[in-house]
Structure 1
Amino acid sequence: MSPIGENEFLFILQGLKWTVLLAIIGFVGGGVFGILIALARTSRNRTARIATSGYIALFQGTPLLMQLFVVYYGVALLGIDVNAWLAVAIAFTLHASAFLGEIWRGSIEAVPKGQSEAANALGLHYVSRMRDVILPQALKISMPATIGFLVQLIKGTSLAAIVGFIELTRAGQIISNQTYRPLLVFGVVGVIYFIICWPLSHLGSGLEKRMAKAVR
């Protein structure tokens, strides 16, 4: 067994950097498309509702691991050369957009209908009604679930190793193979995941309790 020194620890931190960056890209990209999906799901356009409902069902009903495989290998079958970084970023963005879209759709529908009726009575058009009245309230309602999904997304980045992407878990695996100290290495990796995810989970739980008290 080889010792774990500074170089090995720095390599793990390098993997952590890519884990955080991938989670940010997936969350931000998924958020941009997710809000569009949520608006389409709550629109009066039947075609838009059906199309986005099918999109959500597809990504929520299939494993993230399979989605990574399809994007990485499926695009290559079309003759397009996609590196692991781009493929994983696309897959996580699509995955996140489906889940965030459904979370925010539920939040929009949870806003009391009286708010929309009041906005209509004031003569606000659709964009102003959603931007100034509905979405700010829906965002507040969705915060606990959104933070909870972010935690799942961070942990889900470990699946990116399957297509050769070196993130935190894959970096730990490489160091473990080199040092033959799997328990120590993955103990360190687990602690790093805990340090990132536990505060977010605690924040989400705190917001949920605070909102429950406000409702009472």
Structure 2
Amino acid sequence: MGIQEFTYLLQGLKWTLFLTAIGFAGGITFGILIALMRVSPSPWLRIPAVAWIGLFQGTPLLMQLFVAYFGLPLLGFDLPAWGAVAVALTAHASAFLGEIWRGAIQAVPRGQSEAAHALGLHTFSLMVDIVLPQAFKLSLPATVGFLVQLLKGTSLAAIVGFIELARAGTIVSNQIYRPLLVFAVVGALYFALCWPLSLWGRYLERRLGAGTAK
């Protein structure tokens, strides 16, 4: 495999990172909303959030990519391939991150909320100043772990013809007829991205666990 083929793989890697960043940023934005709806006392907010989480956690990401790619044009949204993939990844990430953060929010000791109410704090101040900062720390290891899964999940975008790292590897392999070498390089690139993130997640888990034990 020459420099030209390796450069092509790096172009695919660029799109893998781009899709991961878009999906994760969108998942954070909508995941916070889903988490807040999930812990709301109002059933009008809580039930749609439960349904959203159930839908995207209970169906394969591959199917969600197909629905976004082929279904959105039927609704009048003529998106490029990367846009449809980004929508699917954002919806997928929002469901998982929303549930992760819902658990973190509910893990904050209830006594703190009761004390805040006794001091006359409004619900908005309670969430922003007291609950969410603590929930953010509690959810960090699981959030990083999901980021690793999302990065690897972008490889499914190849099924709708989008050329990210995995699809670029397939194209190069078909050109030079050396699949073992090509996908060893592809696997090494995924490993170089995912392994440090996994180590960071485990470090955060140990650090937060030690802090809780104290």
Q: In structure 1, what is the equivalent of residue 140 of structure 2? A: 143
Q: Secondary structure at the match of 1:142?
A: helix
Structure 2 Cα separation of the partners of residues 25 and 113 of structure 1: 34
Match in the other structure for 1:28: 25
Of stretches 80-89 and 18-27 in structure 1, the one that deviates more from structure 2 is 80-89
Aligned to 2:16: 19
Unpaired stretches in structure 1, ≥5 consecutive residues: none
Aligned length: 213
Amino acid at match of 2:21: I
Amino acid across the alignment from 1:148: G
Q: Return the alpha-carbon distance in structure 1 between the equivalents of residues 30 and 76 of structure 2.
A: 26
Residue of structure 1 equivalent to 2:157: 160
Structure 2 residue corresponding to 1:177, chosen from 156, 174, 178? 174
AA in 1 matched with 2:186: V
TM-score scaled by structure 2? 0.97
Q: TM-score, normalised by structure 1?
A: 0.97
Query: How far off is 1:117 after superposition?
Result: 1.0
In structure 2, the gaps of 5 or more residues are none
- Offset, 1:175: 0.3
Task: Give the Cα separation in 2 of the matches to 1:100 and 1:135.
Answer: 14
Deviations 1:184-203 (A, max 9, x none): 00000000100100010011
Q: Secondary structure at the match of 1:62?
A: coil
Q: How do 1:38-187 residues align onto structure 2 when only pairs under 5 Å count? A: 38-187=35-184
CA deviation map 1:119-147 (0-9, x unaligned) = 11221111111111000000000000000
**Identity %, equivalent residues:** 66
- Secondary structure of the 1:11 match is helix
Cα RMSD, aligned residues only: 0.9
C-alpha distance in structure 2 between counterparts of 1:134 and 1:75, whole Å:
37
Deviation at 1:79, TM superposition (A): 4.3
* 1:194 corresponds to which of 191, 195, 202: 191
State the secondary structure of the residue aligned to 1:123: coil
Tell me how far apart the structure 1 counterparts of residues 77 and 208 of structure 2 sit (CA, whole Å).
47
Deviation for aligned residue 1:212: 1.6
